[in-house]
Structure 1
Amino acid sequence: MIVSYKKLWKLLIDRDLMKKDLREQAGLTTNVIAKMGKNENVSTEVLCKICDTLGCEMDDIVDFIPNSEGESDKT
């Protein structure tokens, strides 16, 4: 399963926010933002903090995309 945070980055643009603003408002670390920038997995706790901060639902900020047939997970 591949994780994509494109929806989150678009939502930030639509709300005229920067990643730094999200980090500060949601109380996230720079490492978490960096992981998300690389479409890596983060905890559901992090996703819940983001949703609470932005007043949105999980499916508003993240997509879970099935791997193509024959591809293996990194983990």
Structure 2
Amino acid sequence: MPLRYYRLFDLLARRGMKKTDLLQIISSPTLAKLSKGEPVNTEVICKICAFLDCQPEDIMEYVKE
């Protein structure tokens, strides 16, 4: 997958949060998709950005294959 979400998990760690804190705003299957680097829709990205008060580039990166 060309999108990587490691920045999201790094941001959570820097804030003293865990992946499971995202379950307040997204479902468990969606969190699993993020953990596996699978695609999610822009609504999910918007929810995460609002929750963490950040920009999309703070949580994901496009990696050319």
What TM-score results when the alignment is normalised by the length of structure 2?
Answer: 0.94
Q: Which runs of at least 4 in structure 1 moved beyond 6 Å after TM superposition?
A: none
Matched-pair identity in %: 38
Alignment partners' CA distance in 1, 2:49 and 2:23? 12
Alignment partners' CA distance in 1, 2:36 and 2:3? 9
Alignment partners' CA distance in 2, 1:23 and 1:64? 24
Q: Cα RMSD (Å) of the superposition?
A: 0.9
Show structure 2 runs of 5+ residues with no match.
none
Deviation sequence 1:7-48 (CA, Å, 0-9, x none): 000000000111111221xx2000000001010100000000
Q: How many residues align?
A: 65
Alignment partners' CA distance in 2, 1:44 and 1:64? 14
Alignment partners' CA distance in 1, 2:41 and 2:63? 17
Alignment partners' CA distance in 2, 1:18 and 1:30? 13
Deviation sequence 1:36-69 (CA, Å, 0-9, x none): 10101000000000000000000000001111xx
Structure number, greater radius of gyration: 1
Deviation at 1:3, TM superposition (A): 1.1
Residue matched to 2:15:
15
1:45 pairs with one of 35, 43, 46: 43
Q: Which has the higher helix share?
A: 2
